[in-house]
Structure 1
């Protein structure tokens, strides 16, 4: 009889804990505050294909692997986000969002553009009872083709999880996005 009760309790549990839902809410508020605080930051640049209102959508391959989107909020600023799956230890769903600033003057290339970007944001990892939320610091570079609405990027993001406990992690990957 106790076996049936235990099975009903196991089936009745939500795969996403209330702690993870609270963490997602906190992460959303932190990211909203970051966007508001940094939305006035700008740097000079000669942006051809990208700028305020431009959107990029594509994929990222690495840890984790999934969909990547980027909304340009200024000439040198953007909000990027990802919905991905980690293939590491047990696998988990990963959501992140970052506010990033681009430096178009660092690399001089003959065609296209290649800004270095850096920023801060947050990450939520849903993995049953081991769900986590934390802060990300992202640094990467992106090649924006001159003759095609496509960009390639590489990024690395050290992470400091703060919910439910302090731990660290690193994400990174290569990706391709179409520019709309």
Structure 2
């Protein structure tokens, strides 16, 4: 029994070793999952479609509005802006945001708002499987009432 367990373990490690050594951070066809701090604070995910395009999303809490935040963005990467060989791509994009904009106005009415979002950020490809990012965004809310939100956040992702 013990020999069988060791044989299976050796086979699994031998199979996965090349995959674990491969660079995945922000590479086409790979998925990154991690955390984000700021506005919002929660979970962040990103899927890289190709060298230039990606989609990202965040689910968390808005610390300013004291409510739930859900956003998704389509991103365009601009490489070599900082002359770094592509390890620090700039990205711009846009998408949608749904946010519980709690305790608004003198009546302290909570409302869930839908808006569009414009985002600009930079992502540092720290290691083969880890990236660190910072971004700023503006989100005009369109429904059920007009409003404007601005956010700044930073985070990190592990890439699969």
Return the offset for 1:109. Answer: 2.4
Q: Does 1:148 align with 2:124?
A: no
TM-score, normalization: structure 2? Answer: 0.76
Over 3 Å counting, the alpha-carbon distance change for 1:51 and 1:84 in structure 2 is same
Indicate the RMSD between aligned Cα atoms, in angstroms. Answer: 1.9
Within a 5 Å distance, the mapping from 1:100-119 to structure 2 comes to 100-109=75-84, 113-119=87-93
Retained in 2: the 8 A contact 1:51–1:76? no
Return the offset for 1:127. Answer: 4.8
Q: Does 1:173 align with 2:119?
A: no
Q: Which runs of 5+ in 2 are unaligned?
A: 1-22, 103-109
Over 3 Å counting, the alpha-carbon distance change for 1:127 and 1:161 in structure 2 is closer
Aligned mates of 1:48, 1:61 — CA distance in 2: 23
Equivalences, count:
131
Return the offset for 1:152. Answer: 0.5
Cα shift readout 1:91-117 (whole Å, capped 9, x = no counterpart): 10000000000011201127x700000
Detail structure 1 runs of 4+ shifted over 6 Å in the superposition: none
Aligned mates of 1:125, 1:134 — CA distance in 2: 8
Q: Which runs of 5+ in 1 are unaligned?
A: 1-46
Higher helix share: 1
Aligned mates of 1:57, 1:83 — CA distance in 2: 11
More displaced 10-residue stretch of structure 1: 51-60 or 76-85: 51-60
What residue is the counterpart of 1:7 in the other structure?
none
Higher strand share: 2
What secondary structure, in the 3-state scheme, does the structure 2 residue paired with 1:173 have? Answer: strand
Instruction: Pick from 78, 100, 109 the counterpart of residue 54 of structure 2.
Output: 78
Cα shift readout 1:10-64 (whole Å, capped 9, x = no counterpart): xxxxxxxxxxxxxxxxxxxxxxxxxxxxxxxxxxxxx974332111110010011
Return the offset for 1:86. Answer: 1.6
